[in-house]
């Protein structure tokens, strides 16, 4: 059964990445919902390890790109190479032609590089010169940001942030989890590489995506998704304080992402229908990066999570 195979993959990821169940779950949700992740957290929280383990668990190739200020668009897309023996140019594909991409410290690259990645994420293609090249059907970008050190960084534009299906915020593990990490690094056999499941085929992933889209969703749940989105655009209709916190609401991509991620979560839990709990469970990671807070909210120290807390309290669930 496809759900069972995905659960085995989730268990394998959790055995390889200690103390980050939200990250491993949302990696699978992103694969099922055909989207990209932005992961924000301090260094050393196994972000690279997680997507590398995911690449081992499915029939896909993985490439890590370290974003730096001197990176060029051609370093991502590839370029035309002149062949003296034939007298013509031949396209040499870049790292974006892999299935799983880790864009490490994405905000350290300048705007031209980010725009090249934006085309790949949004259009599933890259353009070099006058030619356009399609990317693999299975294509997922996991980008990371370090919230601690901001010197020499280029903030991601809102248009690019909107392309990310999910925005996860990771924190340091607790004491018990830290001990398990020590045990894992001390004894490599604890990793359980022998328990690695049979790699999922890309055909199985595409079939699972179709299965998630066939799940039943009640009109009331659809309306709940819409009302959550509308509350970010028309906050004055719900609460004056909320209206003072939001400068711009979320785009229609947020509605699509909420439904797709809720469907993926319901499918992973073995249900053939979507509940309001599925929507609220993914709402923070779907909406957090799409909200543009007002100057008043920033001055008051109000975070996007606090805004979403208020929205979820004000919008009644069916």
| Digit-coded pLDDT (tens) for 257-314 | 999 999 999 999 999 999 999 999 999 999 999 999 989 888 888 899 999 999 999 9
pLDDT of amino acid 148: 67
pLDDT of amino acid 195: 64
CA geometry: angle 310, 312, 316, nearest 5 deg:
120
pLDDT of amino acid 188: 57
Answer whether residue 133 shows pLDDT above 80: yes
Region of poorest pLDDT, from 26-40, 119-133, 233-247, 280-294: 119-133
For residues 37 and 285, give the distance between their C-alpha atoms in angstroms, rounded to a whole number: 9
- The helix/strand count (H/E) of the chain reads as 14, 13
Region of poorest pLDDT, from 44-48, 163-167, 185-189, 233-237: 185-189
Higher pLDDT, 200 or 149: 200
Question: Using 50, 70 and 90 to split pLDDT, how confident is the model at 149?
Answer: low
34-91 pLDDT, tens digit each: 999 999 888 778 888 888 888 888 888 888 998 888 888 888 888 888 888 777 888 8
- Per DSSP, 73 falls in state T
pLDDT of amino acid 253: 92
For residues 153 and 44, give the distance between their C-alpha atoms in angstroms, rounded to a whole number: 19
pLDDT of amino acid 281: 94
The strand pair at 273-274 and 216-217 is best described as parallel
Answer whether residue 152 shows pLDDT above 60: no
Q: Length of the chain, please?
A: 318
Torsion sign, CA atoms 118, 120, 125, 128? positive
For residues 117 and 103, give the distance between their C-alpha atoms in angstroms, rounded to a whole number: 9
What residue ranges define each of the domains in the chain, with the CATH number in brackets? Answer: 2-70+96-186 (3.40.50.300), 215-314 (1.10.8.80)
Higher pLDDT, 132 or 216: 216
User: Which of left, alpha, beta for 269 (phi over 0: left; psi -120 to 50: alpha)?
Assistant: alpha
- Per DSSP, 149 falls in state -
């Amino acid at each position: 059964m496809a759900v069972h195979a995905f659960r085995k993959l989730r268990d394998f990821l959790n055995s390889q990445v200690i103390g980050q169940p939200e990250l491993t779950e949302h990696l699978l949700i992103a694969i099922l919902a055909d989207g990209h992740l932005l992961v924000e957290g301090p260094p050393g929280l196994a972000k690279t390890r997680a997507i590398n383990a995911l690449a081992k668990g499915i029939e896909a190739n993985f490439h890590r790109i370290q974003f730096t200020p001197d990176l060029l668009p051609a370093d991502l897309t590839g370029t035309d190479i002149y062949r003296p023996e034939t007298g013509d140019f031949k396209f040499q594909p870049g790292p974006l032609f892999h299935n799983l991409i880790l864009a490490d410290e994405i905000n350290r690259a300048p705007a031209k590089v980010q725009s090249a990645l934006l085309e790949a994420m949004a259009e599933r293609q890259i353009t070099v010169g006058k030619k356009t090249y399609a990317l693999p059907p299975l294509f997922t970008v996991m980008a990371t940001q370090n919230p601690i050190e901001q010197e020499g960084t280029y903030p991601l534009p809102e248009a690019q942030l909107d392309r990310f299906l999910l925005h996860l915020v990771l924190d340091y593990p607790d004491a018990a989890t830290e001990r398990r990490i020590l045990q894992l690094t001390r004894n490599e056999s604890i990793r359980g590489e022998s328990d690695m499941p049979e790699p999922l085929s890309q055909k199985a992933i595409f079939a699972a995506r179709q299965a998630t889209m066939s799940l039943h969703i009640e009109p009331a749940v659809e309306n709940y998704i819409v009302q959550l989105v509308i509350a970010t655009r028309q906050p004055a209709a719900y609460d004056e304080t909320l209206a003072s916190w939001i400068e711009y609401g979320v785009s229609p991509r947020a509605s699509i992402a909420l439904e797709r991620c809720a469907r993926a979560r319901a499918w992973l839990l073995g249900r053939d229908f979507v509940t309001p709990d599925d929507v609220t469970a993914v709402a923070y990671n779907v909406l957090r990066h799409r909200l543009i807070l007002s100057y008043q909210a920033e001055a008051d120290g109000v975070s996007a999570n606090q805004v979403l807390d208020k929205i979820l309290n004000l919008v009644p669930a069916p």
